[in-house]
Structure 1
Amino acid sequence: MMAPMGKQQDVGGSNGHGGSGAAADGATGGGVDARLALAQDPTTSQMTLIDLASDSSAVVRKTVATRTDAPAQALRPLTRDADRDVREAVARNPSTSIANLRLLVADADRWVRWAVAGNPACDESIRRVMVEAPDKELRGLLAETRELEPELAARLVDDVSPEVRERLATHTHNPDVITALMADRTARVRKGLARNSRTTAAQRSALAQDPVVDVRAALVLAVELDEADLLRLVDDRSVQVRMAMARSEVVPPHIRQALGRDPDEMVASAARDFRPGSGNSSVVRAPRVGHRASGAGRGRPGGTRP
């Protein structure tokens, strides 16, 4: 067996199975099950993996596409495979070259593009393509990148999509970005900040006085607050905010005790019945896109099956 090759360094080549699948099947021999077993076998030679990359079965090609030890000559044609699941597998493969990731991040299929965003091999050059992408979900996934370059984060602060800015607000660790987003006029962006544990005490105090109920409710569910803010919120005019406090895992016991005497019986009951870790705390989470449930691709246009 040849030693596993490192990350691909080049890009190009043909589709790899258009018209050549039968020849590849003959070269590797056996039926689909036998060829699939070869593709799964860690001792299969790299020359055989190259042949299997042009197999007539999409399942076989996808199996090759998932292998981190697959040679560049095997993965390269699979970036242009007719089956989206195969291309998605290449997009997730950490051994896929930057050149091929650059092709896949512009793929016509959204699931392929989104898979690139989660690839650990994705570097700044790919993220620069993502920040310019017309696909707002792709920019949203970029916004969730914890160690995002400051220059790219600053560009997302002004993104045209409120959803992208919300996801940036929820996930960023950059204090300058948080400060900039505190001035965002869109409530859902400030709601994202309310969930962010990296906000300062002063920023949390400002969010505790936000005019939008959803922002205040998200805040009390997500982060610890100073006593002055808690005392203000325990008498909040919104039942929604007080209910969120009653169910929050981060509200201290003496505040919950006060909520047990709330004039709204539902709030009071929720506070009295609260049990830590019982699942009462309905923490609001930012939307996350990029992973499909198993089998979600069945019947989708653009994919083929063996």
Structure 2
Amino acid sequence: MVQEIETCEDLVAQIDELGVEATVRAHRKPPLLTRILRDLYDLYHDQDRYLSFLAHYPLIPSDLAEQIASSLDPEKVDIAIGLAGNPRCPQQSLQRLTQHPQVAVRHALAANPNLTPKEFQTLVTDENEFVRATLAQNSALPNPLQFLLADDASSAVRIALSERKNLDTDVAVHLANSDDSLVSAATILNFSSDEELLQLWADQNKQHQQLLLLRRNKALPAPVSAALRTSPHAFVSRTALKGSELSGPEMLYLAESEDTRDRIFLAEQADLPASIQRLLAQDTSPRVRRRLAGNHAIHEAIALHIAASNDLNAIRTLAKNRATSDATLSELCQHPDDDIALLVAYRDDLASDHYDLLINHRESLVVAEHLAYQEINYDRFSEKVAQQLAIHPAPSVRAFVARSAQLTEALKNTLSKDPSPQVRRQLASNPSLSEHLLRSLFNDSDRKVVFAAEENFAQRIRKQQREQTQTDAPQPEPKPEQTTSKAERPRKGALFNKIANFFND
């Protein structure tokens, strides 16, 4: 807690303990007594540390500030900086400081809102651009001087001027038309005093000004946004439309635009009506059709249209689209181009019917081979495919089909002697394997094959035991006039069977 100041000596002790800056902050409210401040000056005017406190203290009496400034050594820069920024510093002292040889002092002075037009007039021609830039942002700068700074040779000064909250409208127009792109950009990005000027920049159809309007942090007025959405510059209009809901006329305009980029932009939008999507699906540009095929909101009818077309690039994009429907994927599974089917085969959202189409209904085995390398769990092979895969030169493919029930006994016998333990291990887990062939695998040289065969055999025994138990169990006599509804009976029976099967297992 800051000690209460009752005497000049208390203030001296606190300055020594906390420093000048902290002591100034500590006594803004309530202010120090004028008597204590005058005593400090009378007793310690020859010590810079305490003079610096007085110069920086914003509630110093004006006559005391003038007394310090009138006899101040130009070398004592810190004290001069404090006076230059002090709101209690009198006008004659401020005027004297405008001629101070140190830039830091004049820089602090330029930010003082209590400057009079005379000090502003002097500083507006200061040789240092940073002084002029600080002056340009001073809230008390007279309007006529804004025009002078608007033509300053330094871009930094003009940019600083453009960031004023009360920038004159005519000055803003002048700065926005500057040949210096940085000055023009800063003005359009920051100006907020007059919505009519924003509308003027939007209506002038100057591309760089319109793009800058779109980069503003604050939301644009509705008329300004509407002007930008209908800009003759395609990039401006697309940027203005991006992220907002398109109207019917806007979508139709983009769909019929001669600029391919407009139609590409439209094809990427979500929630497009089917009528617009149909137009885009028939677009002459393959880039447009491809972007539509990749749209997560593509309608199923449009997707099926693309899938049946000859546009391979669009079809490839459709095959990779995470939102493609199951019906469309089924069509792509039957596409004659193996590359298209392979793109579908490597998706992780396929159903069993899709695998059936990819494996059992294609002329070549290319896709089935790739699925075998992925080691997916599938055993619904057609007889023809099963026979072909069983004699495939790749062990991974033979292992893939070794669990199939469609293998002939001859092929199962051949696979039981396959040189690859991976193949024999999969065959040993085949539920349709004959008991004789299963027992022969008990003597396999690979322990994992033996374990798989034994587990398969054990499962069969447990299944037979469950079936025998259910056959031998006495049938309960029907109870007369059951009050239980028909809808409840299956549930009770199903629950009983689940419990019985659990304990049998």
**Compared with structure 1, are the counterparts of its residues 45 and 94 closer, same or farther at alpha carbon in structure 2 (3 Å cutoff)?**
closer
State the partner residue of 1:78.
175
Change (3 A) 1:197 1:226: closer
Give the corresponding residue for 1:146. 244
Partner of 2:213: 116
Q: Cα distance, 1:101 vs. partner? A: 4.7
Cα deviation, residue 166, structure 1:
1.2
Aligned partner of 1:189 in structure 2 is 288
Map 1:270-281 → 2, pairs under 5 A: none
Q: Distance in 2 between matches of 1:217 and 1:24?
A: 70
SS of equivalent to 2:295: coil
Q: Which residue of 1 aligns with 2:273?
A: 175
**TM-score, L = length of structure 1:** 0.58
Secondary structure in structure 2 of the residue aligned to 1:47: coil
Q: Look up the match of 2:304.
A: 205
**Residue 208 of structure 1: CA displacement?**
3.4
| 1:88 aligned residue | 185
User: Does the CA contact (< 8 Å) of 2:189 and 2:213 recur in 1?
Assistant: yes
What TM-score do you get using the length of structure 2 for normalisation? 0.38
Match of 1:231 among 316, 325, 330: 330
Aligned to 1:157: 255
The Cα shift of 1:242 comes to: 5.2
Contact kept, 8 Å, 2:167 with 2:191, in 1: the verdict is no
Please give the alpha-carbon distance, in whole angstroms, between the structure 2 residues aligned to 1:241 and 1:62: 56
Question: Structure 2 regions of 5+ residues with no counterpart?
Answer: 1-119, 376-505
Alignment check: 8 A CA contact 2:297 2:323 kept: no
Instruction: Tell me, yes or no, if structure 1 residue 103 matches structure 2 residue 201.
Output: yes
Contact 1:79 1:104 in 2 (8 A): no
Q: CA deviation at 1:161?
A: 1.0
Which stretch shifts more, 174-183 or 184-193? 174-183
Residue 153 (structure 2) aligned to one of 51, 56, 68: 56
| Residues 211 and 76 of structure 1: CA distance in aligned 2, closer, same or farther (over 3 Å) | same
1:100 maps to amino acid: L
> What value does the CA root-mean-square deviation take over the aligned residues?
4.5
Percent identical: 17
Deviation at 1:121, TM superposition (A): 0.9
Is the 1:91–1:112 contact (alpha carbons within 8 Å) kept by the matching residues of 2? yes
**Given residue 198 of structure 1, which amino acid in structure 2 is its aligned partner?**
A
Cα distance in structure 2, aligned partners of 1:69 and 1:176: 48
CA separation in 2, counterparts of 1:24 and 1:203?
A: 70
Shift of 1:68: 8.2
CA distance in 1, matches of 2:264, 2:273: 15
TM-fit CA distance, 1:63: 4.7
How far off its partner does 1:230 sit?
A: 1.5
Residue 263 of structure 1 corresponds to 366
Preserved contact between residue 233 and residue 241 of structure 1 (Cα < 8 Å): yes
Give CA-to-partner distance per residue, 1:48-94, whole Å, 9 cap, x none: 798355443223433554x4845353533322122123223344447
Report the AA paired with residue 161 of structure 1. D
Shift of residue 106, structure 1, vs aligned partner: 4.0
Residue 33 (structure 1) aligns with: 130
- Find the residue that maps to 1:171 and give its secondary structure: coil
- 1:170 CA drift (Å): 0.9
Contact 2:238–2:262, Cα closer than 8 Å, also in 1: yes
- C-alpha change, 1:106 and 1:190, in structure 2 (3 Å) is farther
| Distance in 2 of aligned mates of 1:180 and 1:77 | 48
Distance 1:90 1:247 in 2: 53
Structure whose alpha-carbon radius of gyration is higher: 2
Write the deviation string for residues 139-170 of structure 1: whole angstroms up to 9, x where unpaired. Answer: 43345352234333332222111211110221
